[in-house]
Amino acid sequence: MNLRILAAFALCLAPACGSSDPAELTDQGSKALNSGDYEGAAKSYEKALTVLGSDTSNPEWLRAKLGSVKAHAHTDATKAKSDFLALAAASPSKVTDREYSAVAGALGEAKHFKEAIEVLEAGMKSNPESVALKGLRDDLGKRAESSGDSGALDALKGLGYGGK
């Protein structure tokens, strides 16, 4: 009888402790990120990365790492940029123009133009023919124009931006 009560109690407490499934944690991070809860998203992604440890071959690891970077694009642009560029340097076969575009786009959306342009520049060096990155360059240029950020515009012109 006591074992049944203890088992029932343990089952009740398990959800309160949170998940330790990296896929579930990453899904929670994605939901938080999509709803604009950037701090909550970063926490979920970081928990997933802690559970995964150094198992970079697990597909959830890359998903959680990129999610963490995109969440930090809104809360700590310098960390987002440095974490992403370190990831790109360590795993060039896993980081494509799509990931560069997503991260630079998130930084630009958060109006962190300096960091967005640094990620974009690295992406364009790695993927010089990428149509997506050229489109992002132009989008960042328009955002920089509307914000009046002349430093960002000058940097983008160095990447081939033809606006103002």
Q: What is the pTM of this model?
A: 0.85
| Chain segment 116-145, per-residue pLDDT in tens | 999 999 999 999 999 999 999 999 999 999
List domains and CATH numbers for the chain: 1-75 (no CATH), 77-164 (1.25.40)
Give, to the nearest 10 degrees, the angle between helix 22-34 and helix 38-52.
160
The pLDDT of residue 44 is: 97
Q: What is the mean pLDDT of the chain?
A: 90
The yes-or-no verdict on residue 21 having pLDDT over 60 is: yes
The pLDDT of residue 18 is: 60
The pLDDT of residue 164 is: 60
* DSSP secondary structure code for residue 159 in this structure: T
